[in-house]
Homo-oligomer: A and B are copies of this chain.
Amino acid sequence: MTIEMDKDITNAEWEVMRVVWAQTEVPSQVIIDVLMDKRGWKEPTIKTLIGRLVKKGALKTRKEGRKFLYSTDIKEDALVNETLDHFFHNICSKDIGKTIGVLIDEAILSHEDVALLKEKLIQKEQVAYDTVPCNCVKGQCQCQCQRHG
């Protein structure tokens, strides 16, 4: 699931990726139109972002006539998941459940989504722990055994 790429996708670059993900191949003009409109960026700004993504290997190009068509091998869901996993390293593993709980509270879900998640929880029950072990470094969480001072 790890994506082999030089660098991370920055927030601004993410907007470009979303346009590319929405299509199979896009000319820069489409990216520019969408983002000038959505973000109010100037054309050169968007060109810069495209260029950086190409340079860092996140976008591929195919020359068609005089212009390029942009595409990507990076899967949107894979990158989303990887980014979230990475962020979750900032949280004590004991708190992951509650954190997901808040996400559920705040999400707009379909009946189908709810059913899917319920199903997953039934699976999860099979492998659930009595107590989730804390994975924090000493001094970085409140689990008693590890408390400082």
A interface residues (Cβ-Cβ under 8 A, vs B): 14-15, 18-19, 21-23, 26, 30, 33-34, 37-38, 77, 80-81, 83-85, 87-88, 90-91, 93, 95-114, 116-118, 120-121, 124-125, 128-133, 136-142, 146-149
Copies of this chain held together in the complex: 2
Q: Give the interface SS of chain A, mostly helix, strand, loop or mixed.
A: helix
- Given A18-B140, A147-B22, A102 contacting B128 (CB threshold 8 A): no
Contact residues in B for A114 (Cβ distance below 8 Å): 97, 121, 124-125, 128
Q: Which of B15, B38, B120 contacts A105 (CB 8 A)?
A: B120
Q: Which of B83, B100, B112 contacts A100 (CB 8 A)?
A: B100
Also in contact, A83 and B87, with CB within 8 A (given A103-B100, A137-B37) = yes
Chain B residues with CB below 8 A from A84, complex form: 84, 87, 99, 102-103
